[in-house]
């Protein structure tokens, strides 16, 4: 429908009027003194879905409200654009879905919001551009529940927000904000039954808000402010107890290039997973760039003793883990004198430049087994940020051992210090988790690598672990 400068049009679309509708595609356009605006939308709906939509066109403007409910497979996408901006939103579900969306746009500015809730496999995204600025929001759950509200406002500038709560076996949230060649990204993910909450606001290549997993805030506005104002990065990667198995979580805030943030390529193909493949690794963008080897500290205190652990045995376990990485590269990555035992050093907070391993009772994060918090920034060397410190915290809520036979005997319910340290030190050195890769990535199923999730004690590196560390530091 094309409107003249003074024309007004109204369109009402009801799914009840469409017999067994499976696919709907609609486009609108309006022009006036303030310019022209175009709107397009597409729906692929299950037979059970009900769609109600109202669209009004005015002189150079458009407004619309939409509601959808149903089960089965449903896909929705919308895009609206004017002379200098563009906004789009999409949702996909396999399961129960309730969705509402509203937009109002003219030739020079526009706004769109969507609220998506449901059960099953649900994904929602929204994005906006204005000149050289862009923002994007994503939220996704597999085999779970989700409630997310996302909004985009675009015109002379662009801003976005999302408020998301999800519970399920797999969950992902993320926001990106770019301006020209610089940008910022905040992401969170969980694997294994759990809950994640995100409240994020994006504009002008910066993001504020917080992300929590299982009720614990792992990234807050202060962290994000440090990242945004200092070209800094913070990554929290951890293991968590999820039901009868081990799950994972990650929360990250980092600078990105504007071009990289705007590009995405998702493919859905049948996957044959690799097994102990030398290409089964992924890097994080940071590494230990300093000439001196990295010194690791162990906080020996009453928390360690309460686990029944001997500080010398733990020191040996972590030293052995560090030496395992050292043995496969030409770089002397870790201090040859081994881990230094020091009861005065603190892990995680405050930021003090020391890389410390410590046992804590994580009362606010009862499901967390262990996690690393890596802070990184300039200088960049050959494209990699420099690790400034990387602390590892182990939860005293769970049982730990340095005796491999005990860890194997109890089928993982008593956790092996050396195995977990070996994984977490991979993050310290700049390797990422394989289990957070897209489900279509064959590296994700390669459990021979220590950088995959904890399924059994493992004190050796896989071929991918070795290839990854050699890519970073030489062979």
How much is the pTM? 0.79
Low-confidence residues in the chain, pLDDT < 50: 1-21, 260-269
Residues 286-473: name the CATH superfamily: Collagenase (Catalytic Domain) (3.40.390.10)
Cβ-proximal residues to 466 (8 Å cutoff; 6+ apart), any chain: 278, 328
Contact present, 35 and 59 (Cβ < 8 Å) = no
User: Using an 8 Å Cβ cutoff, are 426 and 451 in contact?
Assistant: yes
d(C-alpha 103, C-alpha 55), whole Å: 9
One-character DSSP codes across 151-210 = EEEESSSEEEEEEEEEEEEEEEEEEEEEETTEEEEEEEEEEEEEEEEEEEEEETTEEEEE
Number of Cα atoms under 13 Å in the Cβ half of residue 151: 14
Phi and psi at residue 154, to the nearest 5°? -140, 145
413: phi then psi, degrees, rounded to nearest 5: -80, -20
What is d(CA 191, CA 188) in angstroms, rounded to the nearest whole number? 11
d(CA 252, CA 286): 13
Q: Is residue 6 within 8 Å of 59, Cβ to Cβ?
A: yes
Contacts of 337 (CB under 8 A, 6+ apart): none
Three-state secondary structure string covering 12-39:
EEEHHHCCCCCEEEEEEEEEECCEEEEE
Instruction: Kindly report, residue by residue over 301-326, the tens digit of the pLDDT.
Output: 999 998 899 999 999 999 999 999 99
Strand partners, 118: 97, 146
Q: Check residue 412 and give its pLDDT.
A: 54
Domain edges within the chain: 2-262, 286-473
pLDDT tens-digit series, residues 244-292: 678 889 899 987 765 544 443 333 335 566 788 899 999 999 999 999 9
Sign of the torsion angle spanned by Cα atoms 362, 367, 372, 373: negative
Handedness of CA 423, 372, 368, 348 (dihedral sign): positive
Ramachandran category for residue 371: left, alpha or beta (phi over 0 → left; psi -120 to 50 → alpha): beta
Nearest residue to 236 (alpha-carbon basis) of 261, 217, 222, 221: 217
Residue 167 CB-half CA count within 13 A: 4
Q: What pLDDT shows up at residue 22?
A: 62
Tokens 């509601």 belong to residue: 67
Give the three-state DSSP class for 126: strand
Give the model's pLDDT for residue 267. 32
How high is the pLDDT of residue 389? 96
């Amino acid at each position: 429908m094309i409107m003249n400068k003074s024309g007004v049009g109204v369109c009402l679309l009801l799914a009840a009027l469409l017999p067994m509708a499976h696919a709907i595609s609609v486009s609108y356009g309006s022009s006036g003194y303030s310019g022209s605006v175009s709107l397009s939308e597409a729906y692929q709906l299950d037979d059970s879905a009900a769609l109600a939509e109202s669209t009004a066109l005015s002189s150079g403007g458009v407004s619309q409200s939409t509601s959808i409910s149903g089960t089965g497979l449903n896909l929705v996408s919308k895009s609206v654009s004017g002379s200098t901006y563009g906004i789009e939103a999409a949702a996909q579900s396999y399961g129960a879905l309730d969705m509402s969306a509203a937009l109002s746009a003219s030739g020079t500015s526009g706004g769109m919001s969507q609220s998506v809730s449901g059960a099953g496999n649900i994904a929602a995204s929204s994005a906006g551009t204005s000149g050289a600025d862009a923002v994007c929001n994503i939220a996704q759950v597999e085999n779970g529940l989700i409630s997310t509200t996302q909004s985009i406002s675009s015109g002379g500038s662009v801003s976005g927000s999302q408020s998301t709560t999800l519970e399920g076996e797999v969950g992902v949230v993320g926001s990106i904000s770019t301006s020209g060649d610089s940008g910022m990204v905040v992401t969170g993910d969980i694997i294994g039954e759990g809950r994640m909450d995100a409240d994020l606001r994006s504009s002008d290549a910066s993001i504020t808000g917080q992300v929590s997993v299982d009720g614990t805030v792992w990234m807050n506005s202060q962290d994000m402010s440090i990242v945004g104002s200092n070209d800094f990065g913070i990554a929290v990667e951890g293991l968590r107890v999820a039901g009868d198995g081990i799950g994972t979580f990650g929360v990250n805030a980092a600078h990105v290039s504007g071009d990289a943030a705007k590009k995405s390529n998702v493919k859905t193909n049948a996957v044959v997973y690799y097994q102990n493949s030398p290409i089964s690794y992924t890097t994080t963008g940071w590494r230990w760039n300093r000439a001196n080897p990295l010194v690791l500290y162990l906080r020996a205190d009453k928390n360690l003793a309460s686990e029944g652990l001997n500080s010398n045995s733990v020191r040996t376990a972590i030293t052995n883990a560090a030496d395992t990485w050292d043995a496969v590269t030409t770089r002397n990555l870790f201090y040859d004198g081994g881990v230094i035992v020091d009861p005065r050093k603190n892990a995680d907070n405050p930021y003090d430049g020391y890389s410390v391993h410590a046992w804590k009772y994580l009362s606010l994060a009862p499901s967390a087994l262990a996690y690393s918090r890596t802070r990184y920034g300039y200088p960049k060397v050959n494209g990699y940020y420099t690790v400034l410190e990387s602390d590892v915290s182990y939860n005293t809520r769970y049982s730990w051992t340095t005796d491999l036979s005990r860890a194997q005997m109890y089928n993982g319910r008593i956790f092996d210090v050396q195995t977990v340290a070996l994984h977490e030190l991979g993050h310290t050195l700049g390797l990422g988790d394989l289990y957070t890769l897209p489900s279509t990535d064959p590296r994700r199923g390669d459990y021979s690598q220590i950088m995959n999730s904890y399924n059994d004690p493992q004190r050796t590196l896989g071929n991918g672990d070795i290839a990854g560390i050699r890519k970073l530091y030489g062979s």
